[in-house]
Amino acid sequence: MPGPAQAPTSSTGADHAAVVEMLRYAPVADELAQRFADAGHRLYLVGGSVRDALLGRPSPDLDFTTDARPEQIQRLVSGWAEAVWDTGIAFGTVGAARRGQTLEITTFRADAYDGVSRNPVVAFGDTIEGDLVRRDFTANAMALSLPDRTFVDPYGGLAALARGVLDTPTDPATSFGDDPLRLLRAARFVSQLGFEVAPRVREAMTAMAPQLARITAERVQAELSKLLLGAHPRRGIELMVDTGLADVVLPEVPAMRLEIDEHAQHKDVYEHSLTVMEQAIDRESSDDGGPDLVLRLAALLHDIGKPATRKVEPGRRVSFHHHEVVGAKMARKRLRELRYPKQVVEDVAQLVFLHLRFHGYGKGEWTDSAVRRYVTDAGPLLERLHKLVRSDSTTRNKRRAAALQRSYDDLEERIARIAQEEDLARVRPDLDGNAIMELLGIPPGPLVGRAWRHLKEVRLERGPLDDDEARAELLRWAAEEGIESEGTRGGTEPQG
């Protein structure tokens, strides 16, 4: 796993680095700043844009804050920006696009929250210091004055970056009480930046974790996804579990801490699952589009069915029979409650359901039919399933680990061979729906679907059939089912 993001090491060096980094944005930022200055307003580059510049991270979008009110911002960017939108204007934010860069310009804020939801009661402020103190973490409470490029850091954000620590500009209990989503944002930034949280922040997170229940599922899901897609998701998940946030968001994960896995080689199923997630991440490829949310969720949740299926067998051996079936149902339920898209829910649940099937392969005992079913059931998830199954080997027995990898190598080779011979990616019955209706003399309806599924099962079991064999098999099935078909009317017995 990569290390934490590179933090600045000194105040002077970092100040200079910030100015140099911001110069990359000079054409757009300076133009915008000059428009505001000419109108008598102040403009600052702020928040994540400044933080990421100091850390040497790319930041395609630019966030600004200003003493200008929203309607004044609209007038100043109108005619200069190539596009302007006001979807956030109720909260003082005007969006704009200029030469391929997205800009968000927000009036100084002095928000208060209603104490029930996370919805702020918007109040505009008059100073940059008042705006920065209401931000979530000191690392996000720095600004760069434009166009003079004066660095503004009233709450020690630069020092916090240098130490790799997340702290709040004000008392953390006040900050989290105003907006409980910040509890989860802390874990998300730990994942993204590799930082630690300040002791007082950890204490407040632990004490206030139940308040995260005030936040809508959609907002929680967005933060959880960003956490899982970060560079250090294990750190983020561990912080969630240790502070009790996971009890609110993903209670199935901390529930695994007390369950010893069946190999008795790991501290518990929880630790095993975190290791599997890390190993799955190591198998991700930039060619596949970078971080894979479905794979990471499946790796984290693949064993959540174990607590419910735990049984102590004779000889004190612990078993978890059918935990993949139970786990798939649990994963589907939890992800639906978190409002994940339907495809993400079904893909993760299917990977959890299938992750244990390989263990019946042994030393290659599967028939070609079993291999076809494995590929067909995985469908477009096959490559992810390969990565998940390989990652699920965390045994400390090097000989056993090597044997498992060799066995899976053999399975993949067989899949490749059969796929080349039979085009497994598009396994379909040897007769389509039209041919079935014509041969059986039946109209469209459920009976066609039943016949289609039977022929697909035959295709998986026996491999491709030629046309005569497929037709004979369909007639044989129809006769067994008592279905009068064109081929059986008049006492004609189907052949084959």
Same domain, 417 and 461: no
Lowest mean pLDDT among 223-227, 339-343, 344-348, 466-470: 466-470
Rounded average pLDDT over 459-481: 83
Same domain, 390 and 485: no
**Inter-CA distances, 366 with 371, 383, 457, 477, Å:** 7, 19, 16, 26
Q: Read off the pLDDT of residues 305-344 as tens digits, 9 standing for 90 and up.
A: 998 888 887 877 777 888 999 999 999 999 999 999 999 9
Is position 255 within any domain? no
**Other Cβ atoms closer than 10 A to 266:** 16
What is the pTM (predicted TM-score) of this model?
0.79
With a cut of 80, say whether residue 286 has pLDDT above it. no
Rounded average pLDDT over 75-98: 92
- Interatomic CA distance for residues 310 and 431, integer angstroms: 45
Which own/partner contact pairs does 318-326 have at CB distance under 8 Å and 24+ positions apart? 318/260, 318/261, 318/262, 318/264, 319/262, 320/259, 320/261, 320/262, 323/356, 324/352, 324/353, 324/354, 324/355, 324/356, 324/357, 325/353
Q: Read off the pLDDT of residues 14-52 as tens digits, 9 standing for 90 and up.
A: 555 554 555 565 678 889 999 999 999 999 999 888 898
Is position 237 within any domain? no
Q: What is the pLDDT of residue 248?
A: 97
Same domain, 356 and 394: yes
Q: What is the pLDDT of residue 53?
A: 84
Same domain, 371 and 484: no
- Structure confidence at residue 495 as a pLDDT band (50, 70, 90): very low
- Interatomic CA distance for residues 405 and 391, integer angstroms: 10
Q: Which of 118, 145, 168 is the last residue of a domain?
A: 168
Answer with the residue of higher pLDDT: 67 or 109.
Answer: 67
With a cut of 90, say whether residue 464 has pLDDT above it. no
Q: Which of 134, 168, 202 is the last residue of a domain?
A: 168
- Interatomic CA distance for residues 105 and 29, integer angstroms: 11
With a cut of 60, say whether residue 60 has pLDDT above it. yes
Is position 134 within any domain? yes
With a cut of 60, say whether residue 296 has pLDDT above it. yes
Is position 418 within any domain? yes
Across the chain, which distance is largest between two alpha carbons, in Å? Answer: 97
Q: Are 70 and 84 in contact (CB under 8 A)?
A: no
Is position 382 within any domain? yes
Domain count, the chain: 3
Same domain, 291 and 331: yes
Tokens of 335: 């992800």
- Structure confidence at residue 422 as a pLDDT band (50, 70, 90): low
245, 322, 233: which is closest to 276 by C-alpha?
233
Same domain, 362 and 465: no
Q: Are 83 and 96 in contact (CB under 8 A)?
A: yes
With a cut of 70, say whether residue 492 has pLDDT above it. no
Q: Which of 425, 446, 480 is the last residue of a domain?
A: 425
What stretch of H or E contains 227?
Answer: helix 217-228
Answer with the residue of higher pLDDT: 117 or 412.
Answer: 412
Is position 211 within any domain? no
Same domain, 123 and 95: yes
Answer with the residue of higher pLDDT: 436 or 166.
Answer: 166
Same domain, 464 and 385: no
Domain of residue 19 covers 11-168
- Interatomic CA distance for residues 219 and 338, integer angstroms: 9
Same domain, 163 and 15: yes
| Average pLDDT, rounded, for the chain | 85
Rounded average pLDDT over 350-378: 87
User: What are the DSSP calls for 79-128, one per residue?
Assistant: TTSSEEE-TTGGGTEEEEEETTEEEEEEE-B--EE-SSSS-EE--B-S-H
Same domain, 159 and 28: yes
Is position 177 within any domain? no
Same domain, 417 and 439: no
With a cut of 60, say whether residue 130 has pLDDT above it. yes
Is position 383 within any domain? yes
Which residues is 120 bridged to in the sheet?
113
**Inter-CA distances, 69 with 13, 76, 89, 144, 435, Å:** 34, 11, 10, 19, 69
- Interatomic CA distance for residues 187 and 166, integer angstroms: 10
Same domain, 344 and 388: yes
- What residues have CB less than 8 Å from 209, skipping those under 6 apart? 183, 243, 244, 245, 247, 248
CATH of residue 62's domain is 3.30.460.10
- Interatomic CA distance for residues 7 and 54, integer angstroms: 7
